[in-house]
Amino acid sequence: KAGVTQTPRYLIKTRGQQVTLSCSPISGHRSVSWYQQTPGQGLQFLFEYFSETQRNKGNFPGRFSGRQFSNSRSEMNVSTLELGDSALYLCASYLDGGSYEQYFGPGTRLTVT
């Protein structure tokens, strides 16, 4: 079974621009969560989607948004990029329904200059 895929793997953007990251979950998984990983803060929860609905949101500004499509693929968007948004953005997929095992993709490394 193919794992979680994330595209693109690397991105370089300029302050003020916006960016869209994509995540394809493991086949059969209907839930997707997004996390931001930085050296200083570690892994921090961004948001969670189940069946195209945002179920939970972390403590991030409104510039961070996401959505999930009917095929369970998910995108996250960051508008008006700031230098502090440079991070590894990770997507995790899981089955939902009682199992808490979550499987991560390789991440998208975003650099904001």
Partner 1 sequence: QKEVEQDPGPLSVPEGAIVSLNCTYSNSAFQYFMWYRQYSRKGPELLMYTYSSGNKEDGRFTAQVDKSSKYISLFIRDSQPSDSATYLCAVPGAGSYQLTFGKGTKLSVIP
CB nearer partner 1, residue 33 or residue 74: 33
Main-chain phi, psi angles of 54, to 5 degrees:
-75, 120
Stretch that binds partner 1, among 11-19, 41-49, 60-68, 70-78 (CB under 8 A): 41-49
Site string for partner 1, 49-88 (x = CB under 8 A): ------xx-x------------------------------
CB nearer partner 1, residue 38 or residue 80: 38
Distance CA 89, CA 80 (A): 17
Check binding of 93 to partner 1 (CB under 8 A): no
Which of 28, 70, 31, 66 is CA-nearest to residue 46? 66
Which of 77, 71, 79 is CA-nearest to residue 52? 71
Distance CA 98, CA 64 (A): 28
Contact residues for partner 1 (CB under 8 A)?
A: 4, 6, 31, 33, 35, 42-43, 45, 48, 55-56, 58, 90, 92, 94, 96, 100-107, 109
